[in-house]
Amino acid sequence: MARLVLYSDQIAGLSDALDEALLSFLEGTSYRIAFVPAATDRNNRYFRKACAHYAQLGIPAPLLCDVDAAFDAATLEHALAGDAIHLGGGDTAPFLAALKRNGVLPKLRAFSERGGVLVGISAGAQILTPSIALCAWLDAPSKNKAGTGAKTEHALGLVPFDFSPHDEGDAREHEKLVAFVAKSRRRLIACHDSEGVVLDGSELRLVGDPLVIDPR
């Protein structure tokens, strides 16, 4: 039973409703969260930010689990033994490549299947979707074909839609998203930084008023 929280961003005062959903998933657990950065961060800037955010929610400091240059299999196993795994924001394509290179994707899928909570922030949320093809499409829509099924773009596929974070209501950006959906033939959800998506088993809940684009 998948329990997922997809954030556009995790910011105190903006993402409170998503934080409440996460806390409800963690109720009755030991609040053991692992933080997986999108790439090795020598200064641990994003890790410190996550620690500060979780501290104000009353959650102990997460376990830092690098899946990139400082990957350690034993640390990953500790992460998988916890209650939740936080997939951080950053550059989606290299993040997905690192997860695949170190054999992490199937372990994350198994973690979710046995009831573990997966938290995705921006790029981390896109890792939970069927494909990250949207990223390349938004960079250069005229040079990319959405939904081509390229293996390098295949992600976890724990939700049946694409996710576009940091939506600012830009009309030209929305035109690109509509064109992407016309080719991918999948629903797309675009979220402002105060918005997101919560999946509890088969129950999908939109938080805020995100833009939902369905194929015609």
pTM (two decimals): 0.94
Task: Take residue 139 and report the two structure tokens written for it.
Answer: 């960079």
d(CA 198, CA 8): 12
CATH topology of domain 3-213: Rossmann fold (3.40.50)
pLDDT at 1: 77
Burial class (CB in 10 A: 0-12, 13-18, 19+), 201: exposed
- DSSP type of residue 120: E
Q: Is residue 23 pLDDT above 60, yes or no? A: yes
% residues pLDDT > 70 (the chain): 94
pLDDT at 150: 54
Nearest residue to 38 via CA among 93, 82, 100: 93
Q: Is residue 141 pLDDT above 80, yes or no? A: no
Dump pLDDT digits (tens) for 93-104: 999 999 999 999
Question: Looking at residues 59-72, what average pLDDT do you find?
Answer: 97
For residue 107, CA distances in Å to 81, 86, 111, 161, 163 come to 11, 14, 6, 21, 22
User: Cβ–Cβ contacts within 10 Å for residue 37, how many?
Assistant: 25
92 and 135 in contact (C-beta within 8 Å)? yes
Burial class (CB in 10 A: 0-12, 13-18, 19+), 61: middle
Domain spans, the chain: 3-213
d(CA 176, CA 159): 21
